[in-house]
């Protein structure tokens, strides 16, 4: 701010003019803690889904090749499980009357 007095002396303020920020209500400004809570909630939901098994993939399909058997397919796709129970499950799911399968046949493999 400048002022001129009678003798032609120019007087200036020592500090620059102060500009006030316009007030912005809190609901318009995102706060860091709101963002942090959102990130924490998303992580908790993601970890909770993984801890309780999460979303399982649906049934898979496999095409039978020459020399394949239900026992071999069950053993390779369900390692560590009871192969006999898995073969029985494959027979039921695929509406098979026995363990006989033919090359080119598409089998449904239930989710583990």
3-state secondary structure of 109: strand
pTM score of the predicted model: 0.49
Residue 13 lies in a domain: no
Is the residue at 44 inside a domain?
no
Q: What is the span of the domain harbouring residue 64?
A: 60-109
9-63, pLDDT tens digit by residue? 666 666 666 676 776 665 555 667 677 777 777 777 777 665 566 555 678 889 9
CA atoms within 13 A on the CB side of 103: 3
Any domain includes 83: yes
Kindly state whether residue 10 falls inside one of the protein's structural domains: no
| Secondary structure (3-state) at 90 | helix
CATH number at residue 72: 3.10.350.10
Q: How many domains does the chain have?
A: 1
pLDDT tens for each residue of 56-68: 567 888 999 999 9
């Amino acid at each position: 701010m400048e002022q001129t007095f009678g003798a032609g002396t120019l007087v200036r303020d020592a500090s620059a003019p102060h500009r006030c920020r316009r007030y912005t209500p809190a609901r318009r400004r995102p706060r860091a803690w709101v963002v942090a809570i959102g990130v924490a909630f998303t992580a908790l939901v993601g970890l909770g889904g993984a801890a309780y098994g999460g979303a399982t993939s649906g049934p898979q399909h496999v095409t039978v090749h020459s020399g394949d058997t239900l026992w071999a397919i069950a053993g390779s796709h369900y390692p560590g499980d009871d192969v006999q129970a898995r073969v029985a499950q494959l027979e039921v799911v695929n509406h098979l009357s026995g363990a006989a399968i033919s090359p080119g046949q598409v089998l449904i493999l239930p989710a583990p």
